[in-house]
Amino acid sequence: MSSPKSFSFKSLLARHEAVLVFVILFEVILFQVLGRNFLTERNFSNVFRHSVEIGLLAVAMTPVILTGGIDLSVGSMMGLCAVLFGMMVNALGMDPWVAAALAVACGALGGGINAALITRLNLPPLIVTLGTFSLFRGLAEALTKGAESFSGFPAYFLALGNATVAGLPAQIWVFFAVAAGIWFLVHRTTFGRSFRAIGYAPEGARYAGIPVARNTSLAYVIAGAVAGLAAVILVARLGEARANAGIGYELLAITAVVLGGVSIFGGSGTMFGTILGWIALAILNNGLTRISDYKIMDQTVASVARELSGLLTGLLLLAALAIGASIKTLAVRHARKQPIPTSKPEPATQ
Amino acid sequence: MNKYFREITVAAALGLLLLSLAVFAPHFFQFQPFTSRLTSQMPVLVAAIGIALVIMSRQIDISIGSQFSMCAIIAGVTAASGLPLGVSIAAAIGAGALMGALNGVLVAYLGLPSIVVTLATMVTWQEALRLWQQGRLLNLPDGIQWFGLSQPAGQTVVISLAFLLLVGAAFAMKHLSAGRFIYATGSDAEAARLAGIDPKRTTFGVFVLMGALAGLAAVLNLVQSPQVQPNCGDGLELKTIAAAVVGGVAISGGRGTLWGVLLGILLLANVNPALTHFHQPPYWEKAIQGLVILLAVFADGLRSRKAQT
């Protein structure tokens, strides 16, 4: 009797990433045909220069979502860190690099507040980070009295956001370093491996001897620190630090992660998927603005294309969620249909 | 400990706040501004009743701000095209129920987490509205403001409608099977299912109700001014979730009362006017709101920790 091929989650994920690569290729071809100046070196670096912050948040959000949690506060954290950074440089006259390091530390501290409330008091991540979402943004607004902004940063600092290093935007190299670091943590260390174990079954992870609270905390601290880093890069790119930095970025980051095939319930997903999800999202947003340069179309149609990107992001997230859930339902149904082997003692995999 | 401990604490805090205002800033209680402030909180109350039911069934809906804006614009557009007021009210509530039904299908029948589903629908409605209205202010025809009544009469209608709804919903939650289904689904969906309750249908129904209440709240907001803004619902999700959590609705579902929600709204709504009356800058409102949410969940966490040991 040939044993029926059991459903493998790994092959599904491999397929998910393959699908994403095709989606990205499709986008590139579509926008190359419809848009203007899409496949140029300049536009290529623009795509990534303008979405590095979201990419950073997405890679840092991945460990959090792998543990079955969520962090809604990262966008607000960017606002607070941007304001703190601006104050340290402008009001206190600090060296921008020292201030940047302190901003990252502030982010880590904020992530630590989330972590402490979530793991020490066993509170749901959703409501804790919703509270800090409001708190961090509110502090940023209060510190700037709702309107002040900081600018006049030295040119050598602004280079971080605008210069080109070895043919790529300077901040891309920062992204590579962070993404590689988190990839190594998640996929190559036992510590990172525990994120998925915790997300898959927190109780099971605890019985397996994993320090669940400590490891989950680290995911939130990393998310906070990276949000601080993203704030510094955003300030360097825009040349201005305001309280409204990063509004709505948490949603874009979560969208990239979910598009990348990371299960929103925790327990499964890869860093590679998240990065592909982010690239697909970044190209979509950039490509739509390229279409609006397309003069053959009616002017009103062209301006609609530019504004569609937000709506499409929302719809894309909904579609990705619905498809993901349907696949899961089908997989369960498929697994249930398999006959339970009688001769072998090993039970069927679920 | 007393079952209504949280309600009593919040009521005491509210009493203290109002008392200190009465002593230090007595003009806070002048009749007309006081009534206006109360009226302006009624849409929040109606939406918060919805969100409280959602949270009690152990879900969350952060798309209600976008639903609210969308319903307000739909009501405004239908009214501006000359349709009678009743039609635009029905359109707003119907549209809200439809948007709620979409959330409900995705959450209840596809089993997706409500936080991500409603995050996605939040941005979808918000962006669809931006595309449609381009951020324009919509002028409303005569006869909409205060339902075509005088201002005091209109305020009375708005306040009494909201309170009637509150009393009705509070009664239903305590004494009707539908209300008990919500508590049961929220405290343990599997146990509810074994007891013969359909948790999926209950969850779906709660989301539809949430949408309809967002529509009604939008109408109650619409009648208070001669114009309607496409971003009028921004931040409503935070305000209502904060009010529910502060009022003692447990975020883990199955626990809380609508009276607590009312107290939560009154407490949070008085933060900003109190800041003004004590001559403090108003920029702190959002930070205080966040801090109050964290304090409330912190207290919950400490209590459940104590209960465990």
Q: Which domains does chain A have, with CATH numbers?
A: 9-31+52-329 (1.10.3470)
Task: Over range B122-144, report the average pLDDT.
Answer: 82
User: Does position A99 have pLDDT exceeding 90, yes or no?
Assistant: yes
A323 has pLDDT over 70: yes
Q: Which residue has the higher pLDDT, A330 or B181?
A: B181
The yes-or-no verdict on residue A78 having pLDDT over 70 is yes
Q: What pairs with residue A240 in β-bridges? A: A151
Q: φ, ψ for residue B139 (rounded to 5)? A: -80, 135
Q: Are A47 and A286 in contact (CB under 8 A)?
A: yes
Most B-contacting residue of A259, A318, A326, A328 (CB-CB within 10 A), to test interface? A318
**Shortest CA gap B275–chain A (Å):** 13
Contact flag A321-B291 (C-beta cutoff 8 Å):
no
- Of A258, A313, A329, which is closest to B123 when you measure between CB atoms? A313
For residue B285, the chain A residues in CB contact (below 8 A) are 138
- Percent of chain B at pLDDT above 90? 33
Architecture of domain B5-16+41-308: Orthogonal Bundle (1.10)
- Interface check B127 vs A, CB under 8 A: yes
Which chain B residue shows the shortest CA-CA distance from A330? B110
Residues 191-210 of B with CB under 8 A from A: none
Which value, to the nearest 10 degrees, does the dihedral of the CA atoms of residues B105, B110, B111, B112 take?
A: -80
Over residues A26-76, the pLDDT tens digits come to: 888 888 887 777 778 788 888 888 899 999 999 999 999 999 999 999 999
Report chain A residues whose CB lies below 8 A from the CB of B293: 127, 130-131, 134-135
Closest CB to A251: pick one of B123, B131, B291: B123
Query: CA of B107: which chain A residue's CA is closest?
Result: A322
Identify all chain B residues contacting A132, using CB atoms and an 8 Å cutoff.
290, 294
| Tokens standing for residue A13 | 């994920």
Residues of A with CB below 8 A from B284's CB?
138, 142
Q: What is the pLDDT of residue B50?
A: 95
The 3-class SS string of chain A reads CCCCCCCCHHHHHHHHHHHHHHHHHHHHHHHHHHCCCCCCHHHHHHHHHCCHHHHHHHHHHHHHHHCCCCCCCHHHHHHHHHHHHHHHHHCCCCCHHHHHHHHHHHHHHHHHHHHHHHHHCCCCHHHHHHHHHHHHHHHHHHHCCCCCCEECCCHHHHHHHHCEECCEEHHHHHHHHHHHHHHHHHHHCHHHHHHHHHHHCHHHHHHCCCCHHHHHHHHHHHHHHHHHHHHHHHHHHHCEECCCCCCCHHHHHHHHHHHCCCCCCCCCCCHHHHHHHHHHHHHHHHHHHHHCCCCCCCHHHHHHHHHHHHHHHHHHHHHHHHHHHHHHHHHHHHHHHCCCCCCCCCCCCC
* Mean pLDDT within B113-124: 86
| DSSP symbol at B141 | P
Q: Do A318 and B290 touch (CB under 8 A)?
A: no
Residue A132, pLDDT above cutoff 90: yes
Spans of all domains in chain B: 5-16+41-308
Token pair for residue A194?
A: 């525990």
Contact A121 B305 (CB under 8 A): yes
Closest residue on chain A to B130 (Cα): A307
Cα distance between residue B295 and residue B298, in whole Å: 5
Supply the Cα-derived Rg of chain B in whole angstroms.
Answer: 19
**What are the pLDDT digits (tens) for B138-156?**
888 877 777 777 888 888 8
> pLDDT of B92-115, one tens digit each?
999 999 999 999 999 999 888 888
Q: pTM of whole model > 0.90?
A: no
Contact A314 B121 (CB under 8 A): yes
Using the Cβ of B251 and the Cβ atoms of chain A, whether some distance falls under 8 Å is answered with yes
For B125, nearest residue in chain A (alpha carbons)? A311
> B113 to chain A: which residues are within 8 Å by CB?
264-265
